Amino acid sequence: MKEKPLDPLGHRTRLRMLTARPEYAAAVAGPTDAPAARAAALMAAVSRGWCLLAGAVGESAPLPPAVIENGSAAAGPAVDALLAQLGGLADRVDAAESQFEIDAIVVAPLRTRADLHAAAAAARETVGPDAPATGELDRRGADLDAALRENLDLISLAADTYLLDNWRALVLPEHAAGLWWLSGEVEAARDAARLDAEAGLPTADWWADLAVTLDPRSYFNETTAEVVASTSTTKPPAPPAEGRSLVTRATAEYRHPVRWGAIVPQAAMAAATPAAGAPTAARFVSPDGTVIATVRVPAVTKPSGETPLVVLFEAAGGDDATREALVGTTCRLGGAPIADAPAATVEEVHGAVRAAFVFEKVRDTLGPTADDGAAGLRLRVDDADWPVVRTDRA
């Protein structure tokens, strides 16, 4: 039985169908201004390119030079249209009504970029790397690269689909080398954005503090930044002039009873319930108090034994220069003695200042405290030990 040839993403079939259409025949005949003929030429270049990238061209011939030239002429308007859409990408994602719709929004630009690269591969095969048509495809690809990377915090949501893994399995290694969207950059941007978002989320301890603060028998002293508890259950005394209840700033004399559950969602009340078990997150502060480092112990580890563990650095006072100054320093994370703990270089990845470790290697240094979650972790940056400011259940 004859083995069926590889048909990457259906492009062999698509190319065969395209060559039978009159629009394609018009593109083969020579330069044309007809939009339909140019579009057919670009689609043919994309399909031929994907077959090249996957090593599935067989004995088929390269595309005619006229098809490549007409296809490159169609690439410019297509990229311009996509660049205009990327300008409103955040609004489109916010307006999406389902995860499926979000996936479609963020996957489409990456798919267009990969198709443009495939078309350039077909152009190199037919007219060579120095031809004007090849240069135009490469130039428009660079324009799209800049826009995609500018929106990579949203585009990186595509890493939660199987798109990139499927492409890696399809494209031959010699063709995948140098493609930033297959290099792990998209996944790194997704992880950085996720860590940045998680670092700003309130913990169970924070909600518990808020529960006390919003208790009608307590008030917040704005001068001393302390929650002052009251044991009175009826008409508690008025706070001093410098203090006002967080729940009744409208009245200066008495704080009327307020059910804080009506202010804070029930999910937050549940989160404020003291949690049992080992802490899963630890926060450290730099010796000068300008930077906070957060590390979250993963709840699930990878079978490969290479579970990522990231230390995320954030400016404590809002001055990003303090955390950016850490880039290039050496960070150690683990148990005592910290000098023997795994080391990593602090780097900046899409705006996030971070140091990446392998969780299993860090855990091996904790010894008897390995089951205590984040409680036994120590952090050193260059030669300075950063004290723990708190451990939480994330």
Angle at 149 between CA 158 and CA 172, to 5 degrees: 60
Stronger pLDDT, 329 or 247, i.e. the higher one: 329
Does 343 share its domain with 222?
A: no
Lowest mean pLDDT among 24-38, 153-167, 263-277: 263-277
Q: Is residue 171 part of a domain?
A: yes
Last residue of a domain, one of 150, 183, 216: 183
Strand partners, 315: 291
Q: Report phi then psi at 294, rounded to 5.
A: -120, 135
In the three-class reduction of DSSP (H, G, I as helix; E, B as strand; rest coil), residue 226 is classed as: strand
Last residue of a domain, one of 183, 217, 237: 183
Does 212 share its domain with 140?
A: no
Signed CA dihedral, 42, 47, 49, 50: sign only? positive
How many whole angstroms separate alpha carbon 117 and alpha carbon 52? 11
Domain of residue 322 covers 281-392
Q: Is residue 190 part of a domain?
A: no
Q: What is the average per-residue pLDDT within 35-39? A: 94
Query: How many separate domains does the chain show?
Result: 3
Q: Is residue 2 part of a domain?
A: no
Does 162 share its domain with 285?
A: no
Neighbours of 298 (CB within 10 A): 12
Does 267 share its domain with 291?
A: no
Ramachandran quadrant class, 304 (left: phi over 0; alpha: psi -120 to 50; beta: rest): alpha
Burial class from Cβ neighbours inside 10 Å (0-12, 13-18, 19+) for residue 346 reads: buried
pTM given for the model: 0.57
Q: Could you report the per-residue pLDDT of 340-355, keeping only the tens digit for each?
A: 899 999 998 877 888 9
Helix and strand totals (H; E) in the chain? 15, 13
Last residue of a domain, one of 183, 215, 245: 183
Distance set, CA 274 to CA 208, 270, 279, 352 (Å): 8, 9, 11, 31
Does 262 share its domain with 339?
A: no
Would the pLDDT of 153 be above 80?
yes
Does 249 share its domain with 380?
A: no
Does 308 share its domain with 334?
A: yes
How many whole angstroms separate alpha carbon 233 and alpha carbon 88? 53
Q: What is the pLDDT of residue 392?
A: 60
Does 143 share its domain with 172?
A: yes
Q: What is the pLDDT of residue 205?
A: 57
Percent with pLDDT over 90 in the chain: 40
Task: With cut-offs at 50, 70 and 90, classify the pLDDT of residue 317.
Answer: low
Q: Is residue 261 part of a domain?
A: yes
Does 164 share its domain with 20?
A: yes
Does 46 share its domain with 101?
A: yes
Q: What is the pLDDT of residue 203?
A: 58
Does 386 share its domain with 350?
A: yes
Q: Is residue 296 part of a domain?
A: yes
Listed residue (165, 117, 157, 164) closest to 140, CA to CA: 117
Q: Could you report the per-residue pLDDT of 157-212, keeping only the tens digit for each?
A: 999 888 998 999 999 999 998 899 999 999 988 888 877 776 666 655 555 555 54
Q: What is the pLDDT of residue 231?
A: 41
Lowest mean pLDDT among 155-164, 315-324, 358-367: 315-324
How many whole angstroms separate alpha carbon 384 and alpha carbon 309? 21
Q: Is residue 192 part of a domain?
A: no
Q: What is the average per-residue pLDDT within 99-116? A: 91
Q: What is the average per-residue pLDDT within 75-91? A: 91
**CA dihedral in degrees (189, 110, 122, 133; nearest 10)?**
-90
Q: What is the 3-state secondary structure (H, E, C) of 109-140?
A: HHHHHHHHHHHHHHHHHHHCCCCHHHHHHHHH
Task: With cut-offs at 50, 70 and 90, classify the pLDDT of residue 369.
Answer: low
Q: Could you report the per-residue pLDDT of 238-257, keeping only the tens digit for each?
A: 444 443 333 333 333 333 33
Q: Is residue 149 part of a domain?
A: yes
Asked if 381 and 328 count as a contact pair (C-beta separation under 8 A), the reply is no
Q: What is the average per-residue pLDDT within 292-296? A: 87
How many whole angstroms separate alpha carbon 88 and alpha carbon 105? 11
Would the pLDDT of 83 be above 80?
yes
Q: Report phi then psi at 169, rounded to 5.
A: -70, -25
Would the pLDDT of 383 be above 70?
yes
Would the pLDDT of 4 be above 60?
no
Q: Is residue 198 part of a domain?
A: no
Does 27 share its domain with 120?
A: yes
Q: What is the pLDDT of residue 236?
A: 40
Strand 343-345 versus strand 330-334 pairing type? antiparallel
Task: With cut-offs at 50, 70 and 90, classify the pLDDT of residue 1.
Answer: very low
Ramachandran quadrant class, 350 (left: phi over 0; alpha: psi -120 to 50; beta: rest): left
Q: What is the pLDDT of residue 96?
A: 85
In the three-class reduction of DSSP (H, G, I as helix; E, B as strand; rest coil), residue 263 is classed as: coil
Stronger pLDDT, 235 or 69, i.e. the higher one: 69
